[in-house]
């Protein structure tokens, strides 16, 4: 290899905790960026299909979680498994905490995407390292403001953004803030009742 330039863009790090001091020292602006409305709206512009106050996702007996809607904040908070469910053991959860903010992980929108999962080779299959195809379209569920929207996701190319639309083709407006995506296999199945939704991951 005749050049080491690759190290320049693969080895640039910055301590974000020092950002405030950096902008003050260099006289930089730190205004909140003006984000175009686009597909974001404080109010729900579409009619919700069903209530969506809890969203459970089961990837395996070892990995599962749920999001719970908090009306006071208008956001969902995350709970993560603390033990596996082998041999009929019950589910166990604790709040998932952000080590930087010391707050519980939260999101204004939770989106569950059904996408095709494959293995590139036998070694990946043995280690369960998936290739996830997020081009084309697929089934989706969008949760915001304690409500659930049955949707489709669309992405025409790898360099294009992902679009979420209702079953009638109308784009679904997201609540401004953090959006968290749960990506599961196309053979996954969903069930719901009384505002609680359950998603069980299954490949491909």
The answer to whether residue 43 scores a pLDDT higher than 80 is no
Pairing of strands 93-95, 75-81: antiparallel
The residue ranking higher by pLDDT, 47 or 11, is: 47
**Average pLDDT, integer, range 98-114:** 97
Q: Which CATH architecture has domain 50-200?
A: 3-Layer(bba) Sandwich (3.50)
Q: Average per-residue pLDDT in the chain?
A: 90
Domain boundaries, the chain: 50-200
Model confidence band, residue 45 (pLDDT cutoffs 50, 70, 90):
low
Whole-angstrom distance, CA of residue 197 vs CA of residue 168: 22
Tens digits of residue pLDDT in 177-186? 999 999 999 9
SS (H, E, C) the chain: CCCCCHHHHHCCCCCHHHHHHHHHHCCCCCCCCCCCCCCECCCCCCCCCEECCEEEEECCCCCEEEEEEECCCCEEEEEEECCCCHHHCCCCEEECECCCCCCECEECEEEEEEEEEECCCHHHHHHCCCEEECCEEEEEEEEECCEEEEEEEEECCCCCCCEEEECCCCECCECCCCEEEEEEECCCEEEEECCEEEEECCCC
Q: What pLDDT sits at residue 8?
A: 59
- Say if residues 103 and 97 touch (Cβ distance below 8 Å): yes
Residue 37 clears pLDDT 70, i.e. is over it: no
Q: What is the pLDDT of residues 64-73, one digit of tens each?
A: 999 999 999 9
Global pTM reads 0.79
Which pLDDT value is given to residue 30?
87
């Amino acid at each position: 290899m005749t050049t080491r330039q690759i190290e320049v863009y693969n080895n640039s790090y910055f301590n974000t905790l020092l950002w405030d001091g950096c902008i003050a020292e260099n006289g930089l602006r730190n205004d909140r960026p003006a984000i175009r409305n686009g597909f974001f709206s404080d109010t729900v512009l579409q009619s919700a299909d069903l209530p969506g106050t809890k969203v459970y996702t089961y990837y395996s007996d070892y990995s599962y979680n749920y999001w719970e809607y908090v009306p006071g904040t208008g956001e969902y908070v995350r709970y993560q498994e603390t033990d596996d469910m082998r041999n009929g053991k019950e589910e166990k959860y604790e709040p998932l905490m952000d080590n930087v903010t010391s707050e519980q992980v939260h999101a204004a929108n939770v989106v569950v995407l059904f996408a095709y999962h494959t293995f590139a080779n036998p070694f990946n299959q043995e280690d369960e390292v998936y290739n996830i195809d997020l081009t084309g379209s697929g089934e989706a569920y969008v949760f915001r403001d304690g409500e659930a929207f049955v949707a489709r996701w669309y992405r025409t190319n790898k360099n294009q953004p992902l679009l979420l639309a209702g079953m009638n083709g109308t784009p679904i407006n997201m609540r401004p803030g953090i959006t968290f995506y749960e990506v599961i296999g196309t053979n996954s199945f969903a069930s719901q009742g009384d505002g609680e939704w359950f998603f069980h991951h299954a490949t491909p």
